[in-house]
Amino acid sequence: MLCTDGLYLLEVDRVLRPGGYWILSGPPIHWKKYWRGWERTKEDLKQEQDTIEDIAKRLCWKKLIEKNDLAIWQKPINHIDCNKSKVVYKTPQICGPDNPDTAWYKDMEACITPLPEVSSSDEVAGGALEKWPERAFSVPPRISSGSLSGITAEKLREDNELWKDRMTYYKKIDGLLHKGRYRNVMDMNAYLGGFAAAMSKYPVWVMNVAFSTYPRTYDLIHASGVFSIYQDRCDITNILLEMDRILRPEGTVIFRDTVEMLVKIRSITEGMRWKSQIMDHESGPFNPEKILFAVKTYWTGAAK
């Protein structure tokens, strides 16, 4: 977190929305009580927390609370006051004109990603968002303003309707979907987030991007077109093995792809002892895209 002069926290700042929150749990928070169990000196832990506090201040984050094992900071809703305090807190320089929304292969930089300009200190940079649950289906300010190339409000609405229909079909395929069987869900190709929005009526938590994660974390993984995208970049077996690692025993995977790709996937997952079935697209058997519904079986690996 603190290596290279707080570079990781600068990256956290980049991906946080205006007004977003950063929560730190564990070392060095509450070090005065736990320092012996952490096998570190009080001086070392105090210095680490002091450094975090200093970097957060220079990022213009506001510390909201520190209680027990948690500390919570909030990113400012705009950079007006941050720019005014730049000299006082030695704020890092503002990043250049590169696209701040880059999601993949983005080098971390020792600079603050600028927020859109505002006219007053109480204005949310880029526009205020709707509250939940309305926010799941509302048009974000950046789309309504036309600042995202190729993405329109109409395209977002069409995507939401598409995934509502697909979720109805998934419910027919998997009768456990609406019965609390799944809690942690990963969508490996989120696009505009329509799948996650359609899942919002169920008691689930959806991770909208494939991050490194703890083993056996997810109950359900959704992979729409992922393997066609990566078939020429890496061995799809490696992707499937990683999915197997993070999927809980008896967890489910829903693949959407071409028939040819799903046949390849199925031949590999059979060797992983998954049970699977290829099904027609929700629009009918003449659609070239199909659905592979797979379940990771529970087995110990012991020789018979």
With helix as H, strand as E and coil as C, how does the chain read? CCHHHHHHHHHHHHHCCCCCEEEEECCCCCHHHHCCCCCCCHHHHHHHHHHHHHHHHHCCCEEEEEECCEEEEECCCCCHHHHHCHHHHCCCCECCCCCCCCCCCCCCCCCECCCCCCCCCCCCCCCCCCCCCHHHCCCCHHHHCCCCCCCCHHHHHHHHHHHHHHHHHHHHHCCCCCCCCCCEEEECCCCCCHHHHHHHHCCCEEECCCCCCCCCCEEEEEEECHHHHHCCCCCHHHHHHHHHHHEEEEEEEEEEEEHHHHHHHHHHHHHCCEEEEEECECCECCCCEEEEEEEECCCCCCCC
pLDDT of residue 234: 85
User: Are 283 and 202 contained in the same domain?
Assistant: yes
Return the CATH number at 246.
3.40.50.150
pTM of the model: 0.81
Statement to judge: residues 168 and 292 lie in one domain = yes
| pLDDT given for residue 1 in this prediction | 46
Strands laid side by side in the 247-258 sheet: 205-207, 184-187, 218-224, 247-258, 289-296, 274-279
Tell me which residue of 211, 161, 163 sits closest to 186, measured CA to CA: 211
Same domain, 292 and 159: yes
- Number of residues that make up the chain: 304
Asked if residue 61 is part of any domain, the answer here is yes
Same domain, 84 and 157: no
- What range defines the domain where residue 11 resides? 3-89
β-partners of residue 275 are 295
Calpha distance 90→286 (Å, rounded): 62
Q: Is residue 254 part of a domain?
A: yes
Q: Is 175 exposed, middle or buried (0-12, 13-18, 19+ CB in 10 A)?
A: exposed
97: in domain? no
R_g of the chain computed on alpha carbons: 23
Q: Are residues 282 and 172 located together in one domain of the fold?
A: yes
- The residue from 89, 120, 144 where one domain ends is 89
Per-residue pLDDT, 16:
93
Q: How far apart are CA 177 and CA 263, in angstroms?
A: 24
Q: Does residue 57 sit in the same domain as residue 186? A: no
Cα→Cα distances 91→122, 161, 167, 189, Å: 21, 44, 46, 36
Q: Is position 258 within any domain?
A: yes
- 163 with 283, same domain? yes
- Is 166 found in the same domain as 284? yes
Q: How many domains does the chain have?
A: 2
Contact residues for 24 (Cβ-Cβ < 8 A; gap 6+): 52, 70, 71, 72, 73
| 288 within domain boundaries | yes
169 with 44, same domain: the answer is no
Q: Residue 110's pLDDT is what? A: 81
Please name the residues in contact with 157: beta carbons below 8 A apart, sequence gap of 6 or more. 139
Instruction: Judge whether 125 lies within some domain.
Output: no
Residues 66 and 190 in one domain: no
Judge if 162 and 84 occupy the same domain. Answer: no
Residue 169 is assigned to a structural domain of this protein: yes
Q: Among 89, 107, 142, where does a domain finish?
A: 89
Judgement on whether residues 85 and 157 belong to the same structural domain of the protein: no
pLDDT tens, the chain, 304 aa long: 444 567 889 889 988 999 999 999 988 998 888 787 888 898 988 999 999 999 999 899 999 999 988 999 999 999 988 877 654 446 677 887 777 777 677 777 788 888 888 999 899 998 999 998 889 999 999 899 888 888 999 999 999 999 999 999 999 988 888 788 899 999 998 889 999 999 998 889 999 876 777 778 899 999 999 999 988 888 999 999 999 999 999 999 999 999 999 999 999 999 999 999 999 999 999 999 999 999 999 876 655 5
Q: How far apart are the first and last CA of the chain?
A: 47
From residue 249, alpha-carbon distances to 70, 89, 217, 275 in Å are: 31, 50, 10, 12
Considering the domain boundaries, does residue 137 fall inside one?
no
Mark which of 89, 108, 132 sits at the end of a domain: 89
CA distance 28 to 43: 11
**Which are the contacts of 50, defined by CB distance < 8 A and separation ≥ 6?**
none
Instruction: Identify the pLDDT of residue 86.
Output: 57
